[in-house]
Amino acid sequence: MNVIAFDLDDTLLDTSSCLLPVATAESCQAMMGAGLQCSQDECQKKRKEIAQTDPRKSIFESLALALQPELSGNSQLLNNIVEAGKRAFYEREVNDPLVLCEGALEVLQECFNKYDLFLVSAGDRNTQNQKIDNLGIRNFFKDCLIADPKENMSKLECFQTILNIYPKLEPNQFLSVGNRLDTDIGHAKQLGWKTCYMKYGEYVNMTPVNDFEKPDFQIKGIHQLTKVCQL
Ligand SMILES: [Mg+2]
């Protein structure tokens, strides 16, 4: 192994504990403000249920339709509600100090001395950059690549960008570490990378739908990375 790409949310940063509750609450509030008829409690419960039972679905649309099925006949209102929910959830100001996952700092310090490290994170560019600086981890990485859906960027393109930096290395000398089977694992394996799946966060109930989504290694927490992957 020569190069490691880390995911950020729920891999290095404990997003599920520090950010998810307030982002979910504010996103539900925004959807209700845009016209979704439900209570805050109903919205939060249903979001959790959809993430657990159907993690591949577009969660904001599924949530709106589950709570108010008649929205399927009003695409303009549905779209307004979905966009309001997404904005409140993803485009956030990060003010309070954030917390790394247990052992993340030690893993970064250890790997920094042996490998070229990259951060590959999906989300709003401004918000993700605020998270990286809030955590003070930017200097561990050769580069931090943000796949911002508003720019039509996927993690596949980020992994390809990293590959192109090292024309002399074979794809299996690259390792992607992350908590989503579809992107952190699937997109990296499509390019021939090795992968380590950290089973943590909102998407733990996702199961592989093809061979690309079957990780080479699996860990419960980032502190297990070096041992399990023999780094
Ligand atoms: Mg993640």
Give the integer Cα–Cα distance in Å for 203 and 186: 14
Average pLDDT over residues 208-222: 97
CA of 72 to the centre of ligand 1 (A): 30
CA of 200 to the centre of ligand 1 (A): 9
Neighbouring residues of the ion ligand 1, judged by CB less than 5 Å = 7, 9-10, 179
CA of 111 to the centre of ligand 1 (A): 19
Q: How many domains does the chain have?
A: 2
User: Over 90: is that where the pLDDT of 3 sits?
Assistant: yes
Six-digit token string for 131: 């998270």
Average pLDDT over residues 193-197: 98
Instruction: Let me know: does 99 contact 222? Beta carbons within 8 Å.
Output: no
Query: How would you class 79 by CB atoms within 10 Å of its CB: exposed for 0-12, middle for 13-18, buried for 19 or more?
Result: middle
Do 54 and 105 lie in a common domain?
A: no
Range of the domain at 55: 20-90
Say which CATH number the domain at 164 has.
Answer: 3.40.50.1000
145-173 pLDDT, tens digit each:
999 988 988 999 999 999 999 999 999 99
* Residues comprising the chain, all counted: 231
Average pLDDT over residues 9-23: 94
Do 151 and 195 lie in a common domain?
A: yes
CA of 13 to the centre of ligand 1 (A): 9
Do 63 and 146 lie in a common domain?
A: no
pTM above 0.75, yes or no: yes
CA of 35 to the centre of ligand 1 (A): 30
Instruction: Let me know: does 101 contact 7? Beta carbons within 8 Å.
Output: no
Six-digit token string for 1: 């192994």
Query: How would you class 126 by CB atoms within 10 Å of its CB: exposed for 0-12, middle for 13-18, buried for 19 or more?
Result: middle
CA of 64 to the centre of ligand 1 (A): 23
Instruction: Out of 90, 118, 152, pick the residue that ends a domain.
Output: 90
Average pLDDT over residues 133-145: 97
Do 63 and 110 lie in a common domain?
A: no
Segment among 9-13, 59-63, 96-100, 224-228 with least mean pLDDT = 96-100
| Mean pLDDT estimate for the chain | 96
Do 110 and 205 lie in a common domain?
A: yes
What is the predicted pLDDT for the residue at 191? 98
Instruction: Out of 46, 63, 90, pick the residue that ends a domain.
Output: 90
Farthest CA pair distance, the chain: 56
Do 184 and 114 lie in a common domain?
A: yes
Instruction: Out of 90, 110, 137, pick the residue that ends a domain.
Output: 90
CA of 181 to the centre of ligand 1 (A): 10
Q: Choose between 52 and 5: higher pLDDT.
A: 5
Do 161 and 112 lie in a common domain?
A: yes
Whether the CA torsion 15, 16, 18, 19 is positive or negative: it is positive
Give the integer Cα–Cα distance in Å for 31 and 87: 10
Do 70 and 170 lie in a common domain?
A: no
Do 102 and 195 lie in a common domain?
A: yes
CA of 157 to the centre of ligand 1 (A): 17
Do 58 and 146 lie in a common domain?
A: no
Which amino acid type is present at position 149? P
Do 110 and 208 lie in a common domain?
A: yes
